[in-house]
């Protein structure tokens, strides 16, 4: 072969190699740059199944740790130390359509109780919203009213698998919040918290999105300080039946801070205290929904233990306002988002009686393991730095969920 033929052969080889780059990167977890400019949604191909990652039915079957690739092994990406004060600039943004003006927001777990109310607020203010959810505890009905709106997209997807979406902000809520469900398959719960959060942080890093983690007051465990400030490190049993959730969320917070410090991702952390409102799953084991459903059905309200353990209850619209204020503000957190009004379970039962049925009875059952004795947020930090505080008292909020529960229970 003469020299010109050799050069031509080399060029052809190069083109062939380029064309063979796979869309779904099994090696690094990312289909590099594919689809971003065309605004196509690029999903990943699960290494295990070889099909696009849309599993949602593995909540009962997967007990091994998946050995798949994590999405963010891109050591070639430039790293930058975060700026003082927390707000950082995105590193490696995917190209964005020049025609796109509105903010595009991803809400994981957006078909759930809190997520669907958050979606309502974001859509109302004009954002484009993408929801990903595996419907483990969420319901399509919660977001049905947005289907058909061009600014809304709903994707069945399990966050344990990577996904690539071009977004500006990620509210990461995907995780069962009720003990009944998170204890149902504890390994899946911890996978959701660890691998799901890694995947979403990897996505945030990749596309330069802001990332907000919905953590929980459970990171304080059975607290030895009362009320709890964000500076308290908690008292959590690492090997108990609630640990999949508590430790899962603590790890999710760690990952969030490490992506911030190590990769400059612009992050926010909310520690949510007990929240109630319309669209909660009926009979999901959370005390407010349990009491309300039982009182409506004229069943006795089940109190676990002596009923003297305390909780504070926040109405969902207050929480959603807090989450948006946190995302829009300059501060990373963590921030306690909760209503500091503190009630024993028996006091809560009294309020439910007042609102629903004065003749409602209480029955006592043995308490569950590791149930915290008391819980009350100190929200000074959120008040001072976010200008946020809850507005709706329990007696005003409860009636707002009763109508929704009555309708779903078919009771007038």
Contacts with ligand NAD, residue ranges (CB under 6 A): 108-109, 111-115, 133-138, 158-160, 173-177, 192, 196, 214, 216, 272, 274-275
Nearer to ligand NAD, 176 or 202 (CB): 176
Nearer to ligand NAD, 180 or 346 (CB): 180
- CA dist list (Å): 92 to 69, 170, 202, 312: 20, 16, 11, 41
Q: Smallest gap, in angstroms, from Cβ of residue 91 to ligand NAD?
A: 26
Contacts of 85 (CB under 8 A, 6+ apart): 330
Q: Smallest gap, in angstroms, from Cβ of residue 135 to ligand NAD?
A: 5
Q: 409: alpha, beta or left, given left = phi > 0 and alpha = psi -120 to 50?
A: alpha
Closest CA to 66 of 178, 237, 156, 192: 192
Nearer to ligand NAD, 176 or 227 (CB): 176
Q: Smallest gap, in angstroms, from Cβ of residue 21 to ligand NAD?
A: 28
DSSP track, 279-316: TPPTTSS-HHHHHHHHHHHTPPEEEETTS--EEE-EEH
Q: Smallest gap, in angstroms, from Cβ of residue 96 to ligand NAD?
A: 25
Q: Could you identify the residue written with the tokens 């500076």?
A: 231
Q: Smallest gap, in angstroms, from Cβ of residue 51 to ligand NAD?
A: 16
Q: Are 108 and 56 spatial neighbours (Cβ–Cβ below 8 Å)? A: no
Nearer to ligand NAD, 111 or 201 (CB): 111
Q: Which of 44, 171, 220, 245 is catalytic?
A: 245
Say how far apart CA 208 and CA 192 lie, in whole Å: 22
Nearer to ligand NAD, 30 or 315 (CB): 315
Residues 291, 292, 297, CA angle at the centre, nearest 5°? 100
Q: Are 103 and 127 spatial neighbours (Cβ–Cβ below 8 Å)? A: yes
Nearer to ligand NAD, 128 or 339 (CB): 339
Say how far apart CA 201 and CA 206 lie, in whole Å: 8
Say how far apart CA 364 and CA 187 lie, in whole Å: 30
Nearer to ligand NAD, 252 or 402 (CB): 252
Q: Are 305 and 349 spatial neighbours (Cβ–Cβ below 8 Å)? A: no
Quick one: which H or E segment has residue 224?
none
- CA dist list (Å): 332 to 112, 150, 222: 24, 31, 25
245 catalytically annotated: yes
Q: Smallest gap, in angstroms, from Cβ of residue 317 to ligand NAD?
A: 13
Q: Smallest gap, in angstroms, from Cβ of residue 37 to ligand NAD?
A: 27
**What are the catalytic residues?**
245
């Amino acid at each position: 072969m003469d020299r010109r033929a050799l050069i031509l052969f080399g060029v052809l080889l190069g083109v062939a190699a380029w064309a063979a780059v796979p869309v779904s990167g099994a090696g690094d977890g990312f289909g590099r740059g594919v689809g971003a400019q065309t605004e196509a949604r690029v999903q990943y191909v699960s290494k295990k199944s070889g099909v696009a990652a849309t599993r949602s039915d593995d909540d009962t079957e997967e007990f091994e740790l998946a050995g798949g690739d994590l999405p963010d092994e891109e050591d070639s990406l430039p790293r930058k130390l975060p700026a003082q004060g927390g707000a950082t600039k995105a590193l490696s943004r995917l190209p964005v359509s020049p025609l796109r003006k509105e903010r595009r927001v991803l809400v994981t777990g957006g078909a759930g109780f809190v997520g669907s109310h958050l979606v309502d607020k974001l859509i109302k203010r004009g954002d484009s919203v993408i929801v990903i959810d595996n419907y483990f505890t969420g319901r399509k009905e919660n977001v049905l009213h947005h289907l058909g709106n061009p600014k809304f997209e709903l994707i069945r997807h399990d966050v344990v698998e990577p996904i690539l979406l071009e977004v500006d902000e990620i509210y990461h809520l995907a995780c069962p919040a009720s003990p009944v469900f998170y204890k149902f398959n504890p390994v899946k719960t911890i996978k959701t918290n660890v691998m799901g959060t890694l995947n979403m942080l990897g996505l945030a890093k990749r596309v330069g999105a802001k990332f907000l983690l919905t953590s929980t007051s459970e990171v304080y465990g059975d607290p030895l300080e009362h009320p709890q400030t964000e500076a308290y490190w908690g008292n959590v049993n690492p090997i108990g039946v609630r640990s999949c959730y508590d430790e899962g969320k603590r790890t999710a917070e760690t990952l969030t801070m490490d992506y911030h410090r190590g990769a400059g991702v612009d992050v926010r952390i909310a520690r949510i205290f007990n929240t109630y409102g319309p669209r909660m799953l009926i009979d999901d084991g959370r005390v407010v929904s349990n009491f309300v459903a039982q009182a409506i059905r004229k069943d006795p309200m089940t109190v676990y233990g002596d009923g003297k353990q305390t909780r504070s209850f926040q109405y969902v619209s207050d929480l959603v306002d807090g989450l948006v204020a946190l995302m829009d503000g300059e501060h990373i957190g963590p921030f306690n988002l909760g209503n500091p009004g503190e009630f024993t379970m028996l006091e809560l039962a009294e309020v439910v009686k007042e609102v629903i049925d004065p003749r409602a009875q209480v029955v006592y059952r043995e308490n569950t393991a590791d149930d915290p004795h008391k819980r009350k947020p100190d929200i000074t930090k959120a008040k001072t730095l976010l200008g946020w505080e809850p507005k709706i008292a329990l007696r005003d909020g409860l009636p707002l969920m009763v109508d929704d529960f009555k309708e779903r229970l078919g009771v007038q």
